[in-house]
Amino acid sequence: MKQKSTLTLSFVLVALSMLYSRQASAQTMGDYRSVVSGNWSDNTIWERYDGTTWQPATLIQIPSATDGRITIQNGTTVTVDAPESANAVFVEAGGFLQLLATDGSMMPLTISDGVGAVAGFPEDLVVNGSILLRGFRQILGLAGATAKINGTMTWIAGFLGINTEVSSTGVLTFTTDDFPKNLEANLNNNGVVNWASSINDHQGDIQFNNATFTNNGTLNEQFQSNNKLFNNGGTNSFVNAGVLNKTTAFTLSNTSINFSNTGTINGNGTLDVTGAPIDVSSGLLGGGNNTGSSINTLNIAGPGLWNPPFGGPTVMMFINGTGAVAGTNYDVVHINDPFDVNLNSTTLQITDLGESDPISTTYTPLTTAGTFSGNIVGPTGASVFGPPVTNSNTVTFQKVILPLNWGEFNALASNNTVQLTWTTLQEQNTSYFSIEYSTDGKTFSSIGTVGAAGNSSTVLHYHFAHSSPLLNGNNYYRLREFDLDGKSFYSSTRAVRFANGNLVKVLVGPNPTHDVLQLSVQEADIIAVLTDISGKGLRTWKLNPGTTQVSLSSLPVGMYQLVIYQKQQRIETQQIFKN
């Protein structure tokens, strides 16, 4: 009976799969598909569905808006260089649609809002392959028509007049042949947009005409000259709800485009929004690339920054290396306006990757050409720094002495006992350490105490043994240091796992992770190799017993594999998700 049920289920799944396949590829009379590369107006490149079979198109048959779905098939390139129209266009993966104007005239490819779209894609123009827009070529969408880029789009110049979405898998590249790009419909990016330009100022501009450009994904500025968002008429706006990476020293300016930032603006050079106030009240601003691997100065020009009632943004600052040189060892945001800037509700967020500057080192992460008023909140993210000091045109803060500076903290198993060892780099008025334990990583309780030195400026070593860990599950440990005045500070958390009494040699977390992966290693001769889903090696780490943190910030979102080796033998593979 069980075998029969299994066979029946398999049959049903196969039948459903075949049915879906037929629906997804179902044809209607008047559909076209490209069979070889060539010009849209050349009937010999097309086949037409007559209701029963595919037939070569006749001399008077080329795709138009009165027909059904038009498919640019894998391995074919279709060129449009004269006015054409279509009801629904689907560019398969491996297919290529290029729109070229050879005589300098505006010759639109007009997309209707009609029937014939591919199953699962309600849009009227779907690009799973590639599309090129060049010269004075224009894509015009009639009322209600939409486009979706799941593959790649290259926009060199011309008019985009159809509401377009770049999906999470899509990539849109702005390049230039010394003509601007004209945006005459809404553009919504959920993937990646790379905005490149030539060496000539403003010939890579984006000209808006009653359009909104919303960035929910990543927008990478890759200029070779100064460029702008240009108001060409109507009501226009640019909304950054994702990440805007300014990667060059050139200026990205704005001409009367409503500009708002609820996402992150990183990078280098100048963002000039003099043409319209910028609302950054709920967003993030920072020099560098928000990972600390690139330290820069981001200049902001334009009125209205930070002023009430909007409140202030979070200013991100990375410190990397030694020297405290603005724009070289730490990020700086500079406001070019000679006006008053209200810092109330502004937060300073610090990440110290260098940790080597001496006590009393002074940093100036925020400057203005005008005058600061109000008080900035922070710094957050690091307790080794004192409160920020607001002067007339600078915000500064210093590295200070804390009651305790943590050193290393490790949890290593030995004969069903977990040995905790930790060091302190300096102590001031410390009283004792409480060792806290948990089996779920959420609810902790004290399992013992160790006395602290009180005052020290040298490295001190401490130890505690937990003799009754859980031998079939996770064991979490953290330290809580108490001062003589009753204040307390927590260490980071360490984990040890046993499975049926056997020690798990490598613990990985958090998973999913956004940026940093923590590897808790219990034995020697461990090598961890991170690969993509196909098995291609991306990172390799030789690990010693203890805890190692590794950065995944430069890798795209997705699924990876972490392969663990010991003494050249593969012992485990874990799937890692980066969000």
Residue 10 has pLDDT above 50, yes or no: no
Report residue 48's pLDDT band, with 50, 70 and 90 as the boundaries: very high
Report residue 311's pLDDT band, with 50, 70 and 90 as the boundaries: low
Contact, 108 vs 185, CB < 8 A?
no
- Per-residue pLDDT of 256-291, as tens digits, reads 888 888 888 888 888 887 665 566 666 778 887 777
Q: How far lies 367's CA from each of 39, 170, 324, 335, in Å?
A: 57, 38, 15, 6
Report residue 42's pLDDT band, with 50, 70 and 90 as the boundaries: very high
Report residue 376's pLDDT band, with 50, 70 and 90 as the boundaries: confident
Rounded Cα–Cα distance for residues 386 and 56 (Å): 77
Which residues, in sequence order, are CB contacts of 25 under 8 Å at separation 6+?
none
Residue 404 tokens read as 């305790």
Q: Average pLDDT, stretch 190-198?
A: 91
Residue 385 tokens read as 């720094």
Residues across the chain: 579
Report residue 558's pLDDT band, with 50, 70 and 90 as the boundaries: confident
Tell me the three state secondary structure of residue 2: helix
Binning the chain into helix, strand and coil, the percentages to the nearest 5 are 5, 50, 45
Q: How far lies 141's CA from each of 7, 85, 86, 99, in Å?
A: 49, 10, 10, 15
Mean pLDDT score across all residues of the chain: 84
Residue 16 has pLDDT above 70, yes or no: no
Of 297, 286, 296, 409, the C-alpha closest to 348 is 286
Q: What is the DSSP string of 307-368?
A: -TTS---EEEEEE-SSS--BTTTB-EEEE--SSEEE-TT-EEEEEES---SPTT-EEEEEEE
The proportion of the chain whose per-residue pLDDT surpasses 90, expressed as a percent, equals: 33
Rounded Cα–Cα distance for residues 361 and 378 (Å): 17
Decide the pairing of beta strands 171-174 and 152-155.
parallel
At residue 525, φ and ψ (nearest 5 deg) are 60, 40
Q: In what order do the strands lie in the sheet with 537-543?
A: 537-543, 526-531, 558-566, 569-578
Residue 45, burial from CB neighbour count under 10 angstroms (0-12, 13-18, 19+): buried
pLDDT of residue 21: 34
Report residue 317's pLDDT band, with 50, 70 and 90 as the boundaries: confident
Residue 102 has pLDDT above 70, yes or no: no
Q: How far lies 344's CA from each of 39, 281, 370, 396, in Å?
A: 61, 11, 16, 16
Between 261 and 364, name the one with better pLDDT: 364
Report residue 254's pLDDT band, with 50, 70 and 90 as the boundaries: confident
pLDDT of residue 513: 82
pLDDT of residue 288: 77
Task: Give the CA count within 13 Å in the CB-facing half-sphere of 271.
Answer: 29
Rounded Cα–Cα distance for residues 528 and 521 (Å): 10
Residue 96 has pLDDT above 80, yes or no: yes
Residue 437 tokens read as 């334990």
Q: How far lies 426's CA from each of 463, 464, 490, in Å?
A: 17, 19, 15
Q: How far lies 369's CA from each of 256, 279, 392, in Å?
A: 22, 19, 10
Q: How far lies 219's CA from each of 279, 397, 543, 570, in Å?
A: 18, 32, 36, 40
Q: What are the CB-based long-range contacts (under 8 Å, 24+) for 45-48?
A: 45/76, 45/78
Residue 353 tokens read as 């990757």
Rounded Cα–Cα distance for residues 411 and 474 (Å): 12
At residue 497, φ and ψ (nearest 5 deg) are -125, 135
Report residue 464's pLDDT band, with 50, 70 and 90 as the boundaries: very high
pLDDT of residue 14: 38
Contact, 234 vs 204, CB < 8 A?
no
- Which of 519-534 are b and which e, b meaning 16 or more Cβ less than 10 Å from the residue's Cβ? bbbbbeebebbbbeee
Residue 97 has pLDDT above 80, yes or no: yes
The proportion of the chain whose per-residue pLDDT surpasses 70, expressed as a percent, equals: 87
pLDDT of residue 305: 54
- Per-residue pLDDT of 480-524, as tens digits, reads 999 888 888 888 888 998 988 888 888 888 888 877 888 888 888
Residue 89 has pLDDT above 90, yes or no: yes
Torsion, Cα 462 465 471 476, to 10 degrees, reads -30
- Per-residue pLDDT of 57-79, as tens digits, reads 998 889 888 888 899 999 999 99
Report residue 34's pLDDT band, with 50, 70 and 90 as the boundaries: very high
Contact, 576 vs 530, CB < 8 A?
yes
Report residue 357's pLDDT band, with 50, 70 and 90 as the boundaries: confident
The least confident of 134-138, 226-230, 240-244, 366-370 is 134-138
Tell me the three state secondary structure of residue 35: coil
